[in-house]
Each structure stands twice: as structure tokens, then as C-alpha cells.
Structure 1
Amino acid sequence: MSLVKKGVCTLLLCAISSVVAQTKIVTSNPILTDWYADPEMAIFENTYWLFPTFSGVTKKQDFIDIFSSNDLKQWTKYDKVVDPSNVKWAKDAVWAPSAIQKDSTYYIFFSANDIQTPESHWWDPKVHDSTEVGGIGVVRAKHPEGPYVDHIGKPLIGTVVNGAQPIDQSIFRDHDGTHYIMYGGWGHCNIGMLNDDFTALKPFADGSLLKEITPENYVEGPVMFYKDGHYYLMWSEGSWGRDSYRVAYGRAKSPLGPFDRIATILASNPEIATGAGHNSVLNVPGTDEWYILYHRRPIPNEHRNHRVVCIDRMYFNEDGTILPIIMTHTGVPPIPLENE
């Protein structure tokens, strides 16, 4: 069943959902015409759903828009499904959404407020404002487009652990139903297990809530997927505001690693775009077709925040290693999902 809006919603539906579907957008690469970044894609109810960061000035980046499509070409926009109206503590930047469905509920995990206090100084009154609130939050809804409500009323992870700023979270569901959360800025990556209702972290066997899995050259933006017996971890290196931004990866036999760095697979191309990074991965159900979602800086670039969301094909060698991504302006052809 598709949940994509086919026209202007009725007044009754709008009143119930508090969501307005905007005019459809038809694109190639980039797949969104406005400035967005940090894309994550999920398939819910036989529909593609795209969850990006609005790439604006930080103080004006306090909301999350989402998009839906039946074919990766025509997109419908849903405005501000997360903002200070439904997450009262998120008063500053909101970014890097990661979405997942569990049972009959949809969840969006997000970063907010860009907290800056290092772990070693958390209780030092000279550097720490005890009122500082931020980190990784989560909202929930009964439909992918919302309306969403704050799930726990506070950050799920709101302090610096193992040197990792609590940002850039990604959720991974393993074969046994375990839900892992990977996250981390400031050059450190942590992994934890979510409890059954996503209200807290669940301890590992040794009692710890988080384990550091930082690979070589890691900066931020982790994402995990599973293919042919291996867990792949991808991450961004370099500086998000510079041409050095790029994507590398490693793989392991366990979601806890170790993830030895294998190669850079996505980097600047002065003939196409620069600063390509903070990606997610799409596997079309029932196929061995894989795609990478990422943002990049168009040429010419208008501003540090001038980032756009793109999609390109991702190929694997016979040994499971990933070939370098070829950035394109054409993107991918329409890929309709098979009816359930």
C-alpha cells in the first residue's frame, strides 16, 4: 500500500495529520532541487522515503523535512515533521535523521543542539553550562509522514562518551531483530543496542551501554549494512565544509567490528562535484541492486551550505569489496517498487 499523497489533502485529513504534502518534484541528480544534505532512505509501505538535513544556516536549521516517491524520480515533500513544536528541547540545529519502522510505529532519530562540552569536562563549571541539553533524540508516528511526537521527551544520548559527540546517528536492524545505533562526531564512533521500545540503550553482556568501534580516519556519519555474510561500516572523512570530505568503508563478521579501513569509495570530482559524503545505502528489495545516497557540493558552489542530495549505483567486486562510486548528473533511472 502506498502512502504518497496524490493531490491536495482534504481539510479533514490535514487537521488530523498536521502534515501538508507539497507539489511533486521531478528530478535527476541531484534528486532534490533545494539545499539538503545527510540523506537517509528507507522503504516503508512499498514507498521510498527520504530523510535529509535541511542545509541552511545553523540557527535556521531547526527542522526536518521528508520526501516520498514511488520511483526515485517524482518526490512529494512533507514540511517540518520534526521541529521545536513537537520536540521542545530541540532549540538549535536539527540534522542527520535516521528512520526505521518497528511493529506498527515509525521512528526518526535525529541530532539536535550541537552540544560542545567534552566528556572530560562535563562537570567542570568553568567549561560546562549545566543547562546544556542536546544530543540524539527520537520521535514516533503511526504513519511515515507523521504527525510525529517526541518519544521520550529528552535526548536518548545526551553526553559525550568515548570522545564521541552525540551526533550523526544511524540505526541498523540485524537478522536476530537486534537494533543497533551507531553515531559519533569528533573522530570517534560508538555503537549501542536499543531496548525493545527505543526509550533507552540495552547493556551488552559486559554491562557496558556503548562500545567504541572507531576505524582509521573516521570523522563522522557512520552507516551499516549487511551483505553476503559481512557487516559493512561506511563513514565520512575530511571536513564537511571542504573538498576533502569523502566516504570510506570497512567490513567485519560482527556488527561490533573490528572494521579495518579498506578504501575510499566516494570523493570529490572536479568535473562533477566536490565534498561528497555523509551517505546511506539502498538495496532494492528482491534484487542485488545497491545504491548510494549522499550529498555533494555542486560546481559552481554558492555557499558553504550549498549541498545537494544525489543517488548513484554502487557495485561490488566478486570478493565483496566495493568499487569506487562514479558520480553522475543523470543519477538512476526510475525504479518502481513491486506491489506487495
Structure 2
Amino acid sequence: MGKSHNASLSGNPVFPGWYADPEARIFEGKYWIYPTYSAPYDQQTHFDAFHSEDLVQWTKVERILELGDIPWARRAMWAPSPIERNGRYYYYFAANDIQSNDELGGIGVAVADHPAGPYRDALGKPLIDRFHHGAQPIDPHAFIDDDGIAYLYYGGWGHCNVVRLNDDMISLAAFEDGDIYKEVTPEQFVEGPCMIKRGGSYYFMWAEGGWGGPGYSVAYAISESPVGPFKRVGKILQQNPDVATGAGHHGMIQIPGEDEWYIVYHRRPLSETLAQNRVVCMDRLWFEEDGSIRPVEMTFEGVQARPMKGTQR
């Protein structure tokens, strides 16, 4: 769990503790990572966050959102995805791990005036609390396109949906065809969706395999539309018997103004056998000249220092 001895490298994991499902953002001139607190489901009752000015030294902000702040949540809070709009921060998360429409839970949204919170439940109920197109309402990922339209990708149990968010970011809008929930499931999708836009192309990524096993991994598709179709290209992150197993469920960081990308993900150290013993790591992600993604090389060294230039919103 130790840091690299080289002060200009982050080392992997980038911070200590059992954490998973990291979302990565740039808010108010800092890099942020928002992970799941990785523990047995009944102990997953709070969220911490981490921020850095250089990708190397990370500062922990404890308990930015807790179970007591969410009146409908009781356990299994995971996979947060915050995003900024109009100076406020909207924090999407899953809670309760519901197995049917007869249970209370799903995807919630909390709001704050600062990236570090404190976040407070925005609705008093889940934003998405039902199974649509077979997708368990878990693993939200927020994405705002260049045209200002906000999307929320989500889903488990092998199905992925996308919904549009209204400008208030706490209610759902219909697509042009009248649909609210649009299924966009690519081949071999399991959970953990993630979307980035690069050079006019939409890169949609997701987790494959079982989260508790060694074969957890990340694959991707490329589309000309934020709602697909998404045709699977191949895996870009998977276990390495010399480094770690169970590598998946990630977020992405783009250095402002540069075509320079980093993947922030969780993996299970070779010394660990418990499913929840996962750590957050970061490695460089490279695009080939043809636009495809080069498979990620997992490292113990992590990434080089990348100090933030000026204040980015």
C-alpha cells in the first residue's frame, strides 16, 4: 500500500485504504477522485473524496456524504459520479442494491455548493428506482456534452441505459422520440459505464466480468453519438499476474487543453483474496493514431506529476 519513493510519481495505489469504483473530475482548479468506500455492503454507508493539484499528492476529505443524509438509503452506497453545472455540484450514487421493483433504492442525487460537499439529498427519494430494460439501477455516470445536454448512463445485470437530465440536474427529460430510458447496452456489458468525448467521437467504456473476481476488466466502443450505437472494440484494462487482478470500473482525467489522458480505476492487490479489498490506481491511457485505445499497462509507479495550470472550472 506504500507510495513510490520517487516524489514525482504518484505510486499505485494513489492513496491508502480500501476504495473502488472511482469517478475522476477536475473541479475548481484541482483533480478530484470520488470512490466507493469498499467494505461489506452493510458497512458501505459513507463516501470520502480525494483532491490533488498534481496527480501525485492527494488530500482526503472525509464523509462528504453519509447514510444519515439520505433518508431512503440503508446500505450499499457506491459508485458516485459528481458533475458541476451552474456553480453547483450534483452527486449521483447508488444505494441499497435493490433486486426488484418491490424494494426501495436505486440511483440517488445529492447536491452541494463545493466539490468537497457537504452533499445533501436533493429529492428525498431515488432519482431512478425501477428496473428499465432489465438494467439494475446502479453505477451512474454523469456526462455533459458540448451542446450542454446532460446525460446519465447507468446499469448493472448486463444492461445499460442512458437518460437525459433536465437543466435542474435532478429530474429526467425525454428524448426527441419520447423515450425516457434508452437502452444502449453493448456486447459483453456488465456494469460501470463511463463516457468521454475526444475529437468529436464518443468513447463509451464499461466493466466486464464479475466485480469480486480476478477477471473484472474494462472494454470500450466508439460512436458518433452520445446514445450510440456502441459496438464493442475490445478490452483496454485487465488483470496482470505480476501486478494485480480485478482491474475495472474506472473514471477518466484529461489534462486541460491537452490530448493527454489518465485512467483512474480500482484493482485487487495480489496479496488479497477478499472481494472488497480493492485500491484506487491511476495509469496513463494512450490513443493510437487511428483513434483506437492502446491497452493500458498497469504499473506500481503510477503517473508523473502533472501540476494544474491556473484555475480550471
TM-score, length-scaled by structure 2: 0.95
Q: What secondary structure does 1:28 align onto?
A: coil
Matched, 1:52 2:35: yes
Aligned mates of 1:199, 1:107 — CA distance in 2: 8
Aligned mates of 1:52, 1:162 — CA distance in 2: 27
Deviation per residue, 1:25-48 (Å, 9 max, x gap) = x95110121000001111111011
Deviation per residue, 1:160-213 (Å, 9 max, x gap) = 000000000100110100000000000000001001102211001111101000
| Residue equivalent to 1:298 | 269
8 A Cα contact 2:37 2:48, kept in partner: yes
8 A Cα contact 2:54 2:305, kept in partner: yes
| Residue equivalent to 2:3 | none
With CA pairs under 8 Å and 6+ residues apart, which has the higher RCO, 1 or 2? 2
Question: Which of 60, 79, 82 is 2:62 aligned to?
Answer: 79
Q: What secondary structure does 2:42 align onto?
A: helix
| Residue equivalent to 1:316 | 287
After TM superposition, give the deviation of residue 255 of structure 1 in Å: 0.7
Q: Residue type matched to 1:253 in 2?
A: E
Query: What stretches of structure 1 move > 6 A for 4+ residues in a row?
Result: none
| Residue equivalent to 2:71 | 88
Task: Report the count of equivalent residues.
Answer: 303
8 A Cα contact 1:190 1:214, kept in partner: yes
Q: What secondary structure does 1:85 align onto?
A: helix
Question: Which of 211, 215, 221 is 1:240 aligned to?
Answer: 211
| Residue equivalent to 1:278 | 249
| Residue equivalent to 1:181 | 152
Aligned mates of 2:176, 2:259 — CA distance in 1: 34
| Residue equivalent to 1:217 | 188
8 A Cα contact 1:27 1:33, kept in partner: no
After TM superposition, the structure 1 = structure 2 runs for residues 150-169 of structure 1, keeping only pairs within 5 Å, are 150-169=121-140
Identity of aligned residues (%): 51
**RMSD (Å) for aligned C-alpha atoms:** 1.1
Aligned mates of 2:275, 2:154 — CA distance in 1: 23
Aligned mates of 1:64, 1:92 — CA distance in 2: 12
Aligned mates of 1:283, 1:298 — CA distance in 2: 26
Structure 2 spans left out of the alignment, 5+ residues: 1-8
Aligned mates of 1:249, 1:100 — CA distance in 2: 22
TM-score, length-scaled by structure 1: 0.87
Aligned mates of 1:173, 1:318 — CA distance in 2: 26
Question: Which of 91, 104, 113 is 2:96 aligned to?
Answer: 113
Question: Which of 64, 82, 97 is 1:99 aligned to?
Answer: 82
The verdict on how the C-alpha distance between 1:27 and 1:323 changes in structure 2, with shifts beyond 3 A counting, is closer
Aligned mates of 1:317, 1:57 — CA distance in 2: 39
After TM superposition, give the deviation of residue 73 of structure 1 in Å: 1.5
After TM superposition, give the deviation of residue 302 of structure 1 in Å: 4.4
Matched, 1:339 2:310: yes
Q: What secondary structure does 2:139 align onto?
A: coil
Deviation per residue, 1:303-325 (Å, 9 max, x gap) = 21110000000001111000000
Aligned mates of 1:317, 1:304 — CA distance in 2: 34
8 A Cα contact 2:22 2:251, kept in partner: yes
Q: What secondary structure does 1:277 align onto?
A: strand
Aligned mates of 1:291, 1:96 — CA distance in 2: 19
Deviation per residue, 1:222-241 (Å, 9 max, x gap) = 00000112101000001001
Q: Residue type matched to 2:211 in 1?
A: W
Matched, 1:136 2:126: no
| Residue equivalent to 1:69 | 52
8 A Cα contact 1:282 1:292, kept in partner: yes
Aligned mates of 2:56, 2:93 — CA distance in 1: 25
Question: Which of 166, 174, 189 is 1:203 aligned to?
Answer: 174
After TM superposition, give the deviation of residue 285 of structure 1 in Å: 0.2
Aligned mates of 2:56, 2:112 — CA distance in 1: 25
Deviation per residue, 1:76-127 (Å, 9 max, x gap) = 111111112211111111000001010111111000010001xxxx4xxxxx
After TM superposition, give the deviation of residue 71 of structure 1 in Å: 1.0
Structure 1 spans left out of the alignment, 5+ residues: 1-25, 123-127
8 A Cα contact 2:65 2:117, kept in partner: no
Matched, 1:256 2:227: yes
Aligned mates of 2:136, 2:42 — CA distance in 1: 19
